[in-house]
Amino acid sequence: MSQALDEIKIGGLGASRKRVEDNRFIRGKGNYTDDITLPGMLHMEILRSPLAHARISSIDTSKAWDIPGVHLVLTGEMMATRNLAWMPTLSYDTQAVLATDKVRFQGQEVACVIADDPYIAKDACEAIEVEYEPLPVIVNPEQAVAEGAPVIRDDKDSQRDNVIYDWEVGDAAGTERAFAQADVVSKLRLHYPRSHPSPIECCGSIADFNRATSKLTVYMTTQAPHIIRAAVALVAELPEHMIRIISPDIGGGFGNKVPVYPGYVCSILASILLERPVKWIEDKTGNLISTGFARDIYLDGEMALRRDGKILAVRMRCDADHGAFFSDAQPSKFKIGLLHSAFAAYDIPVAHLAARGTYSNKAPGGVAYRCSFRVTEAMFFQERMMQAAADDLGMDQAEFRRMNFVKDDDFPHRTPFGFLTDSGQYAKCLDVGLKAIGYEDFRREQAEARNRGRLLGLGISTMTEPLGAGNSREYDILGIKMFDSAELKVHMTGKAIIRTGARTQGQGHETTWAQIVSHELGIPAEDVVVEEGDTDTAPFGMGTYASRSTPVAGAAVAMVARKIRAKARRLAAHLLEVSEEDVEWELGRFYVRSAPDRGVTIQECAMAAYSNMPDGMEPGLENTAYYDPPNLTWPFAVYIATVEVDPSTGVWDVLKLVAVDDCGVRINPMIVEGQIMGGLTEAYAMANMQFITFDAEGNCVGSNYMDYLLPTAWETPGFELHSEVVTPCPHHPIGAKGIGECAAVGGPAAYVNAVMDALSGTGVRNIDMPLLPDRVWEAITYRRDVSGAPPVRSDD
Report in angstroms the alpha-carbon separations of 358 from 66, 91, 291, 515.
42, 13, 18, 45
Question: What's the min distance (Å) between Cβ of 509 and ligand CDP?
Answer: 5
Q: Beta partners for 317?
A: 300, 354
Note whether 508 binds ligand CDP by CB under 6 A: yes
Note whether 558 binds ligand CDP by CB under 6 A: no
Report in angstroms the alpha-carbon separations of 468 from 483, 627, 647, 744.
9, 11, 43, 17
Of positions 550, 693, 699, 753, contacts ligand CDP by CB under 6 A: 550
Of positions 79, 128, 739, 767, contacts ligand CDP by CB under 6 A: 739
Of positions 668, 703, 727, 766, contacts ligand CDP by CB under 6 A: 668
Q: Which is nearer to ligand CDP, 513 or 691 (CB)?
A: 513
Q: Which is nearer to ligand CDP, 144 or 736 (CB)?
A: 736
Question: What's the min distance (Å) between Cβ of 507 and ligand CDP?
Answer: 4
Q: What's the rounded Cα separation, in Å, for the pair 224 and 783?
A: 48
* Cis omega (within 30 of 0) for bond into 770: yes
Q: Which is nearer to ligand CDP, 20 or 458 (CB)?
A: 20
Options 98-106, 384-392, 718-726, 733-741: segment touching ligand CDP (CB under 6 A): 733-741
Note whether 112 binds ligand CDP by CB under 6 A: no
User: Under DSSP, is residue 748 helix (H, G, I), strand (E, B) or coil?
Assistant: helix
Q: Which is nearer to ligand CDP, 651 or 665 (CB)?
A: 665
Question: What's the min distance (Å) between Cβ of 275 and ligand CDP?
Answer: 37
Angle, helices 439-451 vs 426-437, to 10°: value is 50
Q: What's the rounded Cα separation, in Å, for the pair 331 and 338?
A: 8
Asked if residue 298 lies in contact with residue 191, where contact means CB atoms within 8 angstroms, the answer is: yes
Q: What's the rounded Cα separation, in Å, for the pair 762 and 744?
A: 29
Options 359-367, 451-459, 507-515, 773-781: segment touching ligand CDP (CB under 6 A): 507-515
Note whether 247 binds ligand CDP by CB under 6 A: no
- Taken in order 19, 23, 25, 29, the sign of the CA dihedral is negative
Note whether 197 binds ligand CDP by CB under 6 A: no
Active site residue 741: yes
Q: What's the rounded Cα separation, in Å, for the pair 102 and 133?
A: 9
Note whether 738 binds ligand CDP by CB under 6 A: yes
Question: What's the min distance (Å) between Cβ of 140 and ligand CDP?
Answer: 31
Question: What's the min distance (Å) between Cβ of 210 and ligand CDP?
Answer: 33
Catalytic residue among 370, 374, 589, 666: 370
**What does the per-residue mask of binding to ligand CDP show for 622-661, with x meaning CB under 6 A?**
----------------------------------------
Q: Which is nearer to ligand CDP, 549 or 727 (CB)?
A: 549
Note whether 256 binds ligand CDP by CB under 6 A: no
Note whether 666 binds ligand CDP by CB under 6 A: yes
Options 436-444, 521-529, 662-670, 718-726: segment touching ligand CDP (CB under 6 A): 662-670
169: Cβ contacts below 8 Å, ≥ 6 apart:
340, 352, 353, 417, 418
Which H or E element spans position 320?
strand 311-321
Question: What's the min distance (Å) between Cβ of 670 and ligand CDP?
Answer: 9
Asked if residue 528 lies in contact with residue 520, where contact means CB atoms within 8 angstroms, the answer is: no
Note whether 549 binds ligand CDP by CB under 6 A: yes
- Taken in order 88, 91, 94, 98, the sign of the CA dihedral is negative
Of positions 365, 740, 747, 770, contacts ligand CDP by CB under 6 A: 740
Active site residue 765: no
Nearest-CA neighbor of 552 among 490, 481, 638, 637?
481
Q: What's the rounded Cα separation, in Å, for the pair 775 and 594?
A: 74
Of positions 42, 130, 429, 667, contacts ligand CDP by CB under 6 A: 667
Asked if residue 494 lies in contact with residue 473, where contact means CB atoms within 8 angstroms, the answer is: no
Note whether 727 binds ligand CDP by CB under 6 A: no
Options 53-61, 173-181, 664-672, 788-796: segment touching ligand CDP (CB under 6 A): 664-672
Q: Which is nearer to ligand CDP, 621 or 663 (CB)?
A: 663
User: Under DSSP, is residue 170 helix (H, G, I), strand (E, B) or coil?
Assistant: strand
**What does the per-residue mask of binding to ligand CDP show for 515-544, with x meaning CB under 6 A?**
-----------------------------x
User: Under DSSP, is residue 151 helix (H, G, I), strand (E, B) or coil?
Assistant: coil
288: Cβ contacts below 8 Å, ≥ 6 apart:
196, 198, 692, 700, 702, 703, 704, 708
**What does the per-residue mask of binding to ligand CDP show for 129-168, with x meaning CB under 6 A?**
----------------------------------------
Q: Which is nearer to ligand CDP, 404 or 668 (CB)?
A: 668
DSSP secondary structure string for all residues of 660-690: EEE-BS-S-HHHHHHHHHHHHHHHHHHHHT-
Q: Which is nearer to ligand CDP, 26 or 595 (CB)?
A: 26
User: CB count, 10 Å around CB of 770?
Assistant: 22
Options 190-198, 211-219, 389-397, 508-516: segment touching ligand CDP (CB under 6 A): 508-516
Report in angstroms the alpha-carbon separations of 713 from 310, 318, 739.
41, 35, 22
Question: What's the min distance (Å) between Cβ of 467 and ligand CDP?
Answer: 7
Q: Which is nearer to ligand CDP, 374 or 656 (CB)?
A: 374
Nearest-CA neighbor of 48 among 269, 283, 228?
283
User: Under DSSP, is residue 113 helix (H, G, I), strand (E, B) or coil?
Assistant: strand
Note whether 663 binds ligand CDP by CB under 6 A: yes
Q: Which is nearer to ligand CDP, 273 or 670 (CB)?
A: 670
Note whether 372 binds ligand CDP by CB under 6 A: no
User: CB count, 10 Å around CB of 193?
Assistant: 20
Q: Which is nearer to ligand CDP, 256 or 544 (CB)?
A: 544
> Residues 624, 628, 631, 633: what is their CA dihedral angle, to the nearest 10 degrees?
40
Note whether 675 binds ligand CDP by CB under 6 A: yes
Q: Which is nearer to ligand CDP, 330 or 360 (CB)?
A: 330
Options 345-353, 439-447, 503-511, 778-786: segment touching ligand CDP (CB under 6 A): 503-511
Position 746: which residue type? G
Note the Cα 307 to chain centre separation in Å. 38
Question: What's the min distance (Å) between Cβ of 20 and ligand CDP?
Answer: 11
Active site residue 370: yes
Note whether 404 binds ligand CDP by CB under 6 A: no
Of positions 664, 698, 702, 733, contacts ligand CDP by CB under 6 A: 664
Q: What's the rounded Cα separation, in Å, for the pair 755 and 455?
A: 9
Asked if residue 324 lies in contact with residue 361, where contact means CB atoms within 8 angstroms, the answer is: yes
Note whether 547 binds ligand CDP by CB under 6 A: yes
Residue 371 burial by CB count (10 A; 0-12/13-18/19+): exposed, middle or buried? buried
Active-site annotation, residues: 223, 370-371, 741
What are the residues binding ligand CDP (CB under 6 A)? 507-509, 512, 544, 547-550, 554, 663-668, 671-672, 675, 736-740
